[in-house]
Every structure is written in C-alpha cells, then in structure tokens.
Amino acid sequence: MLYYMPTKLYYGQKCIFENKEEMILGEKAIIVTGRNSAKVTGALDDVISVLKEYRIPYIHYNEIGENPTYEMVIKGKEIALKEECDFVIAIGGGSPMDAGKAIAVLTANSDLTPDDLFDMENYDVALPIVTVPTTSGTGSEVTPFAVLTKPNGRKSGFKSDLIFPDVSYLDPRYMVKMNKELTLTTAVDALSHAVEGILSKRATVMSDILARESIRLIYEYLPKTLVNLDNVEYREKLAIASNLAGMVIAQTGTILPHSLGYRITIHKGIRHGQATAIFLPLVAEEVDKYSPEKTKIIKDIFGTLDNFFKFLKDLGIYDFNITFTDDELELFTNEVMSSAHIKNTPGVYDEKKIKEMYTKITKI
C-alpha cells in the first residue's frame, strides 16, 4: 500500500498572505486563468500583489475555457516559452488548473505535443506549479491528473507525479462568489470523486478514511451552502471536502461514472460534476451486487443506497431534459468500454449494461 501526496497545501482564510514566500518558485511566472473567475473572486489580485511584493515579473494568460483544448494549452506553452517563464501559477476551477499542469509539462519539454502528455514515459521534468482553486470540486490542487479535450472531441485525462502542484492555496474566501448552479455542480463532482474512490478496486485504508469524511461533509454542508451561498464557514467545509476527495482520487483514480459523464459533458453540454454524479447511484447499485462491503460507507452516512439516490435527486441534479440517438448511444458505449475507468470498477459491464445506464438517466 502507498499513500503519496507531495503537494504542500496551505488552507484557510488568507492563507496566501500568511505563506506568500512559498509562492515564489522561479524568476518569471505565467499565470494561467479563465476569463473572469480568477479576477472576480479576488484570487488574481492577491497573487499579483504577492508577485509585486517580491518583484517577480509575470505574464497573464487568461484564455482557458471550460474543458480545455489542445489549442488552449499550446498557446499557453508558446507564451511561456517566448516570455521565458519558469513557473506556473494556475488560478480558477479545474479547467485552468488542469491547463496549467499541461502547460508546465509542455513548456519544460518544448518538443512535445499535447498527445505526448498521455504517455508519462515521454517526459521527466515539468515547471514548478502553484494552484489557487476558486471552486470546490475538482481537487486538482492535490492530484497528479489533468483532463484535456482532444481534437476528436474526446475528453481524456493524463497522469504524472510531475504535475502534482508544488504548492496550493485553498482559501474559501475565493469560493463565496460561486452561484448556486456552480456550487452544486462542483460539489457533486467532489462527491463523485469520494464515492468513486470508495467503490474503486484501488481503494485503500487511507483513501477510504479521507473519502468518508469528504462524503460526510458534503452531506451535511452542501444543502446548507446552497441556501447560504456567501457563508464562508460553510464554503470552507466544502473546500475541505473537495480537497479530501482530490486526495482520494490521487490514490485511486476515478471509475465508471466519470467515463459515462465525459460523453454527456462533451455531447450534451451538461457540466462535468452533474454529468458524473447522475450515474453514482446506478454504479453504486451495480458494485453492491458484487462487492457489498464497498458500499458500506455510503450506507453508514445515508442509511441506504436509496437514500443516497434521494439526496442527489433532491439536489436537483436530475432536472434536465436530454435524449440520445442510437448513434450517440453506440459511440458513447464504445468509448466507455475502451476507457481505463471500467477496469477499476467492481462488477461486470458489457455494452448492453452501459447503454441501459445511459437510457435510465434520461427517465429519472
């Protein structure tokens, strides 16, 4: 058994200012963000004020959209090379953090293309990475993963110990600006990470301990936060829950619900966390048939698997209207069957069962 989490994580309100010298990991920074969230949350201003204090020059690349593409990370690499940046500060939700990780590897290995990221044998160095999350869902601030959307539209993750951030700052003050929908969809992403972690064939004693606390915190604080969006204490609980869930998947990886959800995000535009969490009860039920001991933590917290489903339903994550054509079902099923996620999911899965899962979620 192994527990490995090499990121230095500072958490709590104003943690950047209390540990500002730790942010200086080079002589020129590329700050990677989306268009708005880094700015409106106040995180960008805080980072820039620290860089200015230490007289560290920086370039700000703010073109990372949701579900980052090859184009976005290639552009970031080109800017970082041209400007001779030697460390990355990624601020935002999962997309800027994941893009920042890709840019850190591509800049340090300038002959590589984004396709090369998916084989970790191709590189053994990356620029140092600092992350400042402004959502509480992906846990990317403590994981060795980054997810990119390939030119063929397929969403795929790559993994390397080199992209564990060196330093992350988890400050709940940056999260109070999230609206209700984003709060919900990111929190259920965190919930998916924790639940998939306990169901995974790769679950460990350590990952289960972290996952249990993560699920408990989400169960207790997500409903409260949704009606008190600016309560920073509740935000802190969800930030910690999401972070613990990130530490879980850093050990276990994600399983079937993530693979099922990626297709819905890309083809139907449903946000990642929601697209994933809608499958959790179906997969938990399936795992329960083969490895009932794996669902014990869910039952301890929610009482029954039915109650777990009801909790999700009451949050409104099934309130959407989508249908699938036969061609879509065929495509999604083939992609899911060939994904790595399915191998780590207890149970027996064939094309028929995967198609049934897609059909079921349209009828809830």
> Least distance from C-beta 17 to Zn ion, angstroms?
30
**Judged by CB, which is closer to Zn ion: 41, or 259?**
259
> Least distance from C-beta 273 to Zn ion, angstroms?
6
**Judged by CB, which is closer to Zn ion: 44, or 248?**
248
**Judged by CB, which is closer to Zn ion: 104, or 248?**
248
Query: Is there binding between residue 46 and Zn ion (CB under 5 A)?
Result: no
How far is residue 275's CA from residue 360's CA, in Å, rounded to a whole number? 13
**Judged by CB, which is closer to Zn ion: 104, or 194?**
194
> Least distance from C-beta 183 to Zn ion, angstroms?
15
**Judged by CB, which is closer to Zn ion: 46, or 189?**
189
CA proximity to 196, closest of 72, 279, 315, 84: 279
> Least distance from C-beta 98 to Zn ion, angstroms?
10
Cα distances (Å, whole numbers) of residue 39 to 55, 77, 231: 20, 22, 20
> Least distance from C-beta 138 to Zn ion, angstroms?
6
> Least distance from C-beta 245 to Zn ion, angstroms?
9
How far is residue 208's CA from residue 142's CA, in Å, rounded to a whole number? 16
- DSSP symbol at 299: H
Residue nearest to Zn ion (CB): 189
Question: 114 near 132, Cβ under 8 Å?
Answer: no
Query: Is there binding between residue 189 and Zn ion (CB under 5 A)?
Result: yes
248-307: which residues touch Zn ion (CB under 5 A)? none
Helix ranges (DSSP H) in the chain: 15-18, 37-40, 43-53, 70-82, 94-108, 180-199, 205-226, 232-252, 256-268, 272-277, 280-290, 296-302, 305-315, 326-337, 351-361
* Binding segment toward Zn ion, per CB under 5 A, in 120-128, 182-190, 286-294, 328-336: 182-190
Question: 256 near 279, Cβ under 8 Å?
Answer: yes
Q: What is the largest CA-CA distance in the chain?
A: 60
CB atoms within 10 A of CB 119: 11
**Judged by CB, which is closer to Zn ion: 130, or 255?**
255
* Binding segment toward Zn ion, per CB under 5 A, in 3-11, 117-125, 186-194, 347-355: 186-194
**Judged by CB, which is closer to Zn ion: 189, or 208?**
189
* Binding segment toward Zn ion, per CB under 5 A, in 24-32, 175-183, 189-197, 207-215: 189-197
Q: Which helix (H) or strand (E) holds 58?
A: strand 58-61
Binding site residues, Zn ion, CB under 5 A: 189
